[in-house]
């Protein structure tokens, strides 16, 4: 039986509707690159926090935390922050606990602690990119 550790967490920002229309006026390739840059930059905030608070025994879990850019298309982009350790699913056991071990979460607390910063950073990078595109 294979168990995969994964969390789906969406970063939804408010107040970006006006900015979205400006992004759509920018070339599709440039818009996608700008969105990827913004999301990757914002994800780095959570990545840093997660690595700071993750429980450490051997350090393998901490080293496995990474950011992966997922190719979007046109006006979409996504990044994934996660770990590729799944045999055994040690990160899952730590995050949620087991019958014999209480949970020691780190991914969700890192998300909760950095969400506001990630939203702000996403907006800053997009605004800066749009200013550069219109120069």
- Residue 83, sorted as left (phi over 0), alpha (psi -120 to 50) or beta, turns out to be beta
Model confidence over 107-125: pLDDT tens digits?
Answer: 999 999 999 999 999 889 8
pTM across the whole model: 0.76
Phi, psi of 70, deg, nearest 5: -100, 125
CA–CA gap between residue 43 and residue 117 (Å, rounded): 10
Identify whether the C-beta of residue 47 lies closer than 8 Å to the C-beta of residue 64: no
Percent over 90 (pLDDT), the chain = 44
> Element (H or E) spanning 127, and its range?
helix 107-133
| pLDDT for position 133 | 67
Model confidence over 44-81: pLDDT tens digits?
Answer: 999 999 999 999 989 999 999 999 888 766 566 788 89
The total of other beta-carbon atoms located within 10 Å of residue 82's CB is 19
């Amino acid at each position: 039986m294979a168990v995969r550790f994964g969390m789906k967490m969406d970063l939804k920002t408010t107040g970006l509707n006006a900015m979205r229309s400006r992004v759509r006026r920018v070339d599709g390739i440039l818009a996608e690159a700008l969105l990827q840059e913004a999301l990757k930059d914002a994800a780095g905030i959570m990545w840093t926090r997660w690595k700071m608070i993750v429980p450490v025994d051997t350090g393998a879990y901490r080293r496995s935390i990474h950011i992966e850019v997922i190719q979007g298309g046109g006006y979409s982009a996504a990044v994934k922050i996660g770990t590729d350790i799944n045999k055994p699913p040690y990160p899952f056991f730590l995050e949620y606990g087991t019958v014999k071990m209480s949970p020691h979460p780190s991914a969700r607390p890192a998300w909760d602690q950095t969400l506001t910063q990630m939203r702000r950073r996403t907006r800053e990078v997009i605004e800066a990119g749009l200013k550069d595109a219109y120069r």
